Amino acid sequence: MTDTQRNHTHHRLWLTVSGLLIAISLVVSGCGGVVEKSNAQGSVATANGGTLTYALATSPDTLDPHRSGLAVSVRVMRTLYDSLVVQTADGSIKPWLAESWTVSKDGKKYTFKLRKDVKFHDGTPFNAEAVKFNFDRVIDPATKAANALALIRPYTSSKVIDEYTVQVNLSTPSEAFLGNISQAMLGIVSPTAAKQEGEQFGKKPVGSGPYQYVDWKDNTSISVKKNPDYTWAPETVKNTGAPHIDGITFSIIPEEATRIGSVQSKQVLAAETVPPQNILALKNSPDLQLLQANTLGLPYTLFINERHAPWDNVKARQALQSAIDVNAIVKTLYLGTYERAWSALTPGILGYDESLENTNQPDLTHANNLLDELGWVKGQDGIRIKDGQRLTLKYVDGSPNREKRNDIAAMIQQQLKAVGIDVQVNITKDISTVVYQNGEYDLYGNSQVNSDPNALSAFYHTAEPSARPTLPGLSDPQIDQWLEQGAVEKDKDQRANIYRNVQQRINELAVIIPVYIFPYTVAASQTVQGISFDYLGYPLFNDVRIGG
């Protein structure tokens, strides 16, 4: 299957409605441009107004797009912020707040012509100064930018040409740049509000998006209301004007049974991240619909910390790969609702290497042989010993049990015990300290939503001495060279080949165990219509109506 075919396959959104399903029609009525949508039960929604109640599985860390590192934050932030450009379903880049742009011959200067009719929610006009402020803010160390900083590289500066023209300068060409600035984590914030609120901006966010911030009750809910002046939506939604509904209340309900129970009991109208065991029941419910989109980027992947012995030895890492039965984990925990991951990238992204599929199958004999070769001998309790040291592995995971990741840890603990490895599981909320500051892990899982294979650089390129170490701690000159080439290669086929080489090399070095591709799922009342998804699999609420 080609990348393009996969792109279509994995971005196909399917709307599962009870009974006859699928037979959905959109009709534009003759009164006021109201969109009507009939569902399987024949009811028709024509009304404007109402509040969508939407249950989130976890709490955002901040609503400052430049400082957040969480996908759940993006689900809220996409209602508040617009971007300069948008990436469509076929991966192409189209205008949004920028009406057009040109690129210099050397690929290092982007000149954007901006819309002149955009205002932030606080009344601040959107213009070239606002773009310059935003991009400069991301690279300012005082901002403490997270994912946004990796996305904006190799940005160096901006130059205001006139009020609605801005030149953006890069240190090197970047084929990923336009796609990256389409992402919500590089959403455009109000300069006035960002300066005024400082560290508190994430709790008092101001953008130019279709919804405006109302309030945030810690660990309970976040509310937004419609922006009545909104007229600048991108072509990825049908409604380019103000939202049809009055607002959205995002309820934070981490416990999955409670979250799904809330939508079944109509306490909320929609709930994200449907547990696999509930999917069939929801499909058969006459009152609910299931919406789903696979996400793009890096799949949920277990990174082996090769800075720690014995995992600095490729044979030890290969032993882990052979001893862990990923197929059994994915089938047992996700009941056929999640796809197994095989590579450092997800299917559908440029350069995904499908030849890696069905490689690295479990082989306990091979795992045992490798550990024997390394001199690890099983002791009386079955755990291996070498030079008086027990073979232990520190497995760190965040709390709560997001996407059953705690259960993955428990299964791997049992699987590795079979080959004589003592797995010590540490479930902690303080990932920042344990993983990123202290590096106290041998195995830690992470994923990243992204539209470009250049995302691999943040995980696999040798880290700068002054920068935070990468999760696997990898330092491979060949991978570094390919990643640097991939960032600037203009020929699409050549670029895809480069990233296939990177995936093959990562596989040879055995620094990761890819686990699953996250399918973003939403259970919604039949009365809710118009939730769609962007290129990356994030929900869009511009077209939402709440019918009778």
Predicted local distance difference test score (pLDDT) of residue 548:
60
How far from 363 is each of 266, 378, 392, CA to CA, in Å?
Answer: 47, 18, 20
How far from 310 is each of 283, 361, 394, 445, CA to CA, in Å?
Answer: 47, 22, 12, 19
Query: What is the number of other CB atoms lying within 10 angstroms of the CB of residue 102?
Result: 10
Token look-up 């939503």 returns 449
Predicted local distance difference test score (pLDDT) of residue 6:
37
Q: Amino acid letter at 191? A: P
Predicted local distance difference test score (pLDDT) of residue 381:
96
3-state secondary structure of 54: strand
Predicted local distance difference test score (pLDDT) of residue 539:
97
3-state secondary structure of 354: helix
**Which residue stretches of the chain have pLDDT < 50?**
1-44
Rounded CA-CA distance 370/12 in Å is: 42
3-state secondary structure of 524: strand
Query: Is the separation of the CB atoms in 409 and 397 below 8 Å?
Result: yes
Q: Using the CB atoms, write b or e for 107-121: b if 16+ within 10 Å.
A: ebebbbbbbeebebb
Please state at what angle helix 405-417 crosses helix 314-323, rounded to 10 degrees: 110
Predicted local distance difference test score (pLDDT) of residue 356:
97
Rounded CA-CA distance 300/447 in Å is: 4
DSSP state of 464: P
Residue-by-residue DSSP string for 483-497: HHHHHH---HHHHHH
Of 132, 125, 138, 111, nearest to 208 (Cα)?
125
Query: What is the maximum span of the chain, computed from C-alpha positions, in angstroms?
Result: 81
Predicted local distance difference test score (pLDDT) of residue 45:
55
Strand partners, 217: 221
Query: Is the separation of the CB atoms in 445 and 301 below 8 Å?
Result: yes
- Residue 259: its H or E element: helix 256-264
Q: How many helices (H) and strands (E) does the chain have?
A: 16, 30
Predicted local distance difference test score (pLDDT) of residue 12:
37
The burial class, CB within 10 Å (0-12 / 13-18 / 19+), for 75 is: buried
Rounded CA-CA distance 228/77 in Å is: 18
Rounded CA-CA distance 543/237 in Å is: 7
